[in-house]
Amino acid sequence: MAKKRTKKKSFSAVKAVKSNARDRVGQPKPERVIEDAAREEKRREKHKATLGEMLSGDE
């Protein structure tokens, strides 16, 4: 069985520029996932609790 020839890689300017930038600046920091708060929680943060809510103890 004959071996397959390896495909000749073509030049990519984008990859060359990114590689050059990584060499000079360094790798970018990994992405962190920040969870979004629920809509109601955001809404409660905006408004102070009323006297009735404070006395009833419902949160």
Give the residue, 43 or 53, on which the prediction is more confident.
Answer: 53
Mapping DSSP to helix (H, G, I), strand (E, B) and coil, where does residue 14 land?
A: helix
Does 58 have pLDDT greater than 60?
no
pLDDT of residue 40: 67
**What contacts 13, CB < 8 A, 6 or more positions away?**
none
Per-residue model confidence (pLDDT) at position 59: 47
